[in-house]
A and B are shown apart, each in its own frame.
Chain A
Amino acid sequence: MAPKLPIYLDHAATTRTDPRVVEAMMPYFTEVFGNPGSRNHSFGWAAEDGVDKAREQVAALIGADPKEVVFTSGATESNNLAIKGAAMMYAKKPAGETGRGHIITAMHEHKAVLDPCKRLQKEGFDVTYLEPGKDGLITRDMVEAAMREDTILVSIMWANNEIGTINEIPEIGALCHDRGAIFHTDATQWVGKMPTDVKTDNIDLMSFSGHKLYGPKGVGALFVRRRRPRVRLTALQEGGGQERGLRSGTLNVTGIVGLGKACEICAQEMDAERERLFKLRRKLEDKVTGALSVTQINGHPDKRLAHLTNISFGFVEGESLMMATKEIAMSSGSACTSASLEPSYVLKSLGVGDDLAHSSLRISLGRWTTEEEVEYTADKIIEAVKKLRDLSPLYDMHNEGIDITKIVWQAH
Chain B
Amino acid sequence: MAYSSKVIEHYEKPQNVGSFGTQQEIKARTDVGVGLVGAPECGDVMQLQIKVDESGKIEDAKFKCFGCGSAIASSSLATEWLKGRTLDEGLEIKNTQIVEELSLPPVKIHCSVLAEDAIRAAIADYKKKNGIESHNEAHSH
Q: Which residues of A contact B (CB under 8 A)?
A: 315-320, 323, 336-341, 356-357, 390-397, 400, 402, 404, 409-412
Contacts and interface: CB of A to CB of B under 8 A. Distances in A.
Interface of B: 1, 3, 11, 14, 17, 19, 22-24, 36-47, 64-69, 71-72, 107-108, 110, 113-114, 140-141
A404 B114 CA distance: 19
A337 B42 CA distance: 6
A392 B65 contact: yes
B110 A393 contact: no
A320 B3 contact: no
A260 B47 CA distance: 57
A159 B85 CA distance: 58
A198 B64 CA distance: 54
A390 to B, nearest CB: 7
A366 B43 CA distance: 32
Contacts of B67: 317, 320, 338
Contacts of A400: 22-24
B101 to A, nearest CB: 19
Contacts of B37: 410
B72 to A, nearest CB: 6
B44 A391 contact: no
B66 A392 contact: yes
11 contacts: A320-B71, A323-B69, A336-B40, A338-B43, A339-B108, A340-B1, A357-B40, A391-B14, A411-B38, A412-B114, A412-B141
Given A356-B40, A412-B114, A338 B14 contact: no
Of listed B14, B42, B107, residue having the most chain A CB within 10 A? B42
Of listed A315, A337, A391, A395, residue having the most chain B CB within 10 A? A391
Contact of B41 (A320, A337, A340, A402): A337
B45 A393 contact: yes
Contact of B43 (A315, A336, A404): A336
A317 B43 contact: yes
A339 B41 contact: no
A316 B43 CA distance: 9
A394 B38 contact: no
A409 B39 contact: yes
B23 to A, nearest CB: 6
Nearest to B111: A339
Nearest to B19: A396
B126 to A, nearest CB: 18
A357 B110 CA distance: 18
Contacts of A392: 45, 64-66
B64 A341 contact: no
A320 B71 CA distance: 9
B41 A336 contact: yes
A341 B68 CA distance: 10
A394 B42 CA distance: 13
Given A391-B64, A394-B66, A323 B41 contact: no
A390 B17 contact: yes
B68 A319 contact: yes
A386 to B, nearest CB: 13
A397 B41 CA distance: 16
Nearest to A392: B66
A270 to B, nearest CB: 36
Contacts of B141: 412
A153 B8 CA distance: 51
Contacts of A393: 19, 36, 45-47, 64-66
B66 A315 contact: yes
A394 B69 contact: no
A412 B64 contact: no
Nearest to B138: A410
B65 A339 contact: no
Given A319-B68, A393-B66, A337 B43 contact: yes
Of listed A339, A341, A390, residue having the most chain B CB within 10 A? A339
A340 B64 contact: no
B107 A317 contact: no
A412 B69 contact: no
B45 A409 contact: yes
A19 to B, nearest CB: 32
A411 B68 contact: no
A394 B24 CA distance: 14
Contacts of A315: 66
Contacts of A339: 42-44, 68, 107-108, 110
Given A393-B47, A396-B23, A397-B23, A340 B40 contact: no
